[in-house]
Amino acid sequence: MSNWECYNGTWKLGGVPVKVAPVQIQPYGNKDIPYEVAEEAYKEYAAQHGNGQTLERLCERGGFASSEMAILLYDRIKRLER
- One pLDDT digit (tens) per residue for the chain, 82 residues: 567 787 777 888 888 888 776 666 666 555 678 788 899 999 999 999 999 999 999 888 888 888 888 999 999 999 999 8
The gap from C-alpha 48 to its chain's centroid, in whole angstroms, comes to 11
The gap from C-alpha 31 to its chain's centroid, in whole angstroms, comes to 15
- AA letter at 17: P
CB atoms within 10 A of CB 46: 15
Question: Are 68 and 37 contacting, i.e. CB atoms less than 8 angstroms apart?
Answer: no
pTM of the model: 0.70
